[in-house]
């Protein structure tokens, strides 16, 4: 577990994005809302143009792609600016608490 400001981080959501990606810009405010709703989830952005190796390592070839990580392991992947699917994935994985995926 990662501790930050006395808040236990239970899951990390990595947003693979690009500056030229329209759907990425569209979904960005929604991610900010989710981050406020779920303080135990760390939301990170990875610019695929700046960090090509990271995108390749996680097998990302479309933007936006969201990887849900628990204890360093991917537990879910959502491709596309799908608000409902993102909300459901965060809720589902936060409800399960620990990793046994």
Catalogue the active-site residues.
Answer: 21, 24
Q: How far apart are the first and last CA of the chain?
A: 16
3-state class of 4 per DSSP? strand
CA 66, 24, 55, 61 torsion: positive or negative?
positive
In angstroms, how far is CA 55 from the centroid of its own chain?
A: 13
């Amino acid at each position: 577990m990662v501790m930050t400001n006395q808040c236990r981080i239970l899951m990390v959501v990595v947003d693979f994005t690009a500056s030229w990606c329209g759907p990425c810009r569209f979904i960005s405010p929604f991610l900010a809302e989710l981050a406020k709703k779920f303080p135990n989830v760390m939301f990170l952005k990875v610019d695929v143009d700046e960090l090509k190796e990271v995108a390749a390592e996680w097998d990302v070839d479309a933007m936006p792609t969201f990887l849900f990580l628990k204890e360093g392991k991917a537990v879910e992947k959502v491709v596309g600016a799908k608000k409902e699917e993102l909300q459901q994935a965060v809720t589902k994985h936060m409800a399960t608490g620990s990793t046994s995926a």
